[in-house]
Amino acid sequence: MGILRNKLASPTALFAVVILAACGSSSTAGAPPPTQTGPISIGVIAPFTGPAAEFGTLLTAPCLAATDLINADGGIMGHQANCVSVDDTGDPADAVPNVTKAIATTSNFDMAIGLESNTAATTVPLVNAAKIPFLTTNGLVAFTTNNYNYYYRLTPGDDANGAAFAVWAVKQGYKSVAIVFQNGIGSEGNRPGLQAAMPKLGGNIAIDLTIPADAASYSAEVARVIAAKPDVLIWSADPQTTATFMANYQQLNNGNLPAMVTATDSLTPDFFNAVSKAVGVGYVTSKIWLVGSYFDQTTPAFNTYKGALLADSKTHDIAPVLSTVGPPAGAYDGINIMALAMIMAKTTIGSYYNQYILQVVAPKAGALVVNNFKDGAAALAAGKTIQYVGVLGQPSFDKNHNSAGQFDANTFNSDGSANQVGIISGSQVLGLLG
């Protein structure tokens, strides 16, 4: 969840960088596939500095898991794959020069992941113009309909997440909710779906607040929420903001705290540690539900993914958390899908292999279902037709290259890991948005 400053690049400047980025690949799909030498660079476009820097770590982990497995299997047509950090700082204006420079200077920049909600409005056009296929983890409703040919998303839009929050809150018996969201694109996108869903579910919005990030105190805002007498908080904010707000709430409400429903984005060590320190581990493990994309944790695809996270010393400690969060799992699936599309296209160049991405995941008669890179590459080498079904299940991309799926709810365990406690129907959620 990044803190957005009021800094906008001028239209002229943005036009110039898009034109520059487009020069990164001038090939057309009709020409013979070019030959490329050296390792493939996978750009992890995410905040690595600033208030949202933890997202960079969380999105690098699935890239490391995917590339560890790919490289152990000999690489993509003999090319090793490397994860390259591209710091978007969590700020849409500051992201432009950083991403533009990475596109211009990174050798064999052939795919990307990340492009999260705080910066997607400026980074998506740049990467798309450079003809680099990418798996975005943004949830912006604006991208539900888009014209970006190299864009793919395997997790739902923020409006759907907001509706899922409402479904879970009502399922727990809560009918009067307090919406409290930190100001910023990453939080605010959940609000429209939540506002649409609550009345349809027979619920009531007792109060609806937007708060600034990382203030020294939220006593005034907390007093307003307490006065509204909600059953539950529907919450979205960074770890420090959450810790301060809840500590103030505890102080002003005779030690009593309401239950909370928030996003699985908060299934992080920073959130768990900050809030536990502020109001106690007991509250965090018993009264917080985290809702987001669902995936089956018993499949072979999941076992391979979690095994790779546990095997790498850089990701081992956060594997229990990452194995329950949708966007990182989607990034892992995205890398596998793009890597297999390269093999199908017999080239690593984005303007060529992009047209094969949908073929990798499309259900088709007689196709061999594969759920990891190794099996997919072996099947393609044997001349077989494949259908990739990954950690997030069967991708079902619409005409805008979005694939949503189901939702689930999780709780924290006492060690900071997560426990999946329920599933929410994707069709029910989408029906509440209609």
Residue 67 lies in a domain: yes
Q: What is the pLDDT of residue 5?
A: 24
Q: Are residues 105 and 223 both part of a single domain?
A: no
Q: What digits encode the pLDDT tens for the residues 56-73? A: 999 999 999 999 999 999
29 pLDDT tier (thresholds 50, 70, 90): very low
94: domain range? 38-153+325-388
Which pTM value belongs to this model? Answer: 0.79
Q: What is the pLDDT of residue 32?
A: 56
**Mean pLDDT, range 411-418, rounded to an integer:** 93
Q: Are residues 377 and 340 both part of a single domain?
A: yes
Mean pLDDT, rounded, of the chain: 90
Residue 26 lies in a domain: no
Partners of residue 94 on adjacent β-strands: none
Residue 21 lies in a domain: no
Q: Are residues 281 and 340 both part of a single domain?
A: no
CB within 8 A of 152, min separation 6: which ones? 133, 134, 135, 136, 334, 337, 357, 397, 401, 403
| Concatenated DSSP letters of 85-126 | EEE-TT-HHHHHHHHHHHHHHSTTEEEEEE--TTTHHHHHHH
pLDDT score of 15 more than 60: no
pLDDT score of 344 more than 90: yes
Residue 319 lies in a domain: no
**Mean pLDDT, range 174-178, rounded to an integer:** 96
**Run of H or E residues at 375:** helix 373-381
Q: Are residues 215 and 172 both part of a single domain?
A: yes
Distance CA 42, CA 176 (A): 45
Q: Are residues 164 and 278 both part of a single domain?
A: yes
Instruction: Provide the CATH number for the domain around residue 368.
Output: 3.40.50.2300
Q: Are residues 81 and 99 both part of a single domain?
A: yes
Distance CA 18, CA 16 (A): 5
Q: What digits encode the pLDDT tens for the residues 198-247? A: 999 999 999 999 999 999 999 999 999 999 999 999 999 999 999 999 99
**Helix/strand/coil percent split, the chain, to 5:** 45, 20, 35
Q: Are residues 162 and 283 both part of a single domain?
A: yes
Residue 75 lies in a domain: yes
Q: What is the pLDDT of residue 52?
A: 85
Please check whether residue 404 is in contact with residue 275, taking contact to mean a CB–CB distance below 8 angstroms.
Answer: no
Q: What digits encode the pLDDT tens for the residues 110-162? A: 999 999 999 999 999 999 999 999 999 998 989 989 999 999 999 888 899 99
Q: Are residues 285 and 416 both part of a single domain?
A: yes
Distance CA 372, CA 67 (A): 12
Task: Please state the domain count of the chain.
Answer: 2
Distance CA 275, CA 267 (A): 12
Q: Are residues 246 and 175 both part of a single domain?
A: yes
339 pLDDT tier (thresholds 50, 70, 90): very high
405 pLDDT tier (thresholds 50, 70, 90): confident
261 pLDDT tier (thresholds 50, 70, 90): very high
Q: Are residues 175 and 229 both part of a single domain?
A: yes
pLDDT score of 326 more than 50: yes
**Mean pLDDT, range 306-322, rounded to an integer:** 93
Q: Are residues 116 and 172 both part of a single domain?
A: no
Q: Are residues 166 and 256 both part of a single domain?
A: yes
What share of the chain in percent tops pLDDT 90? 76
**Mean pLDDT, range 415-420, rounded to an integer:** 91
**Mean pLDDT, range 377-384, rounded to an integer:** 98
What share of the chain in percent tops pLDDT 70? 92
Q: How many CB atoms lie within 10 A of CB 38?
A: 11
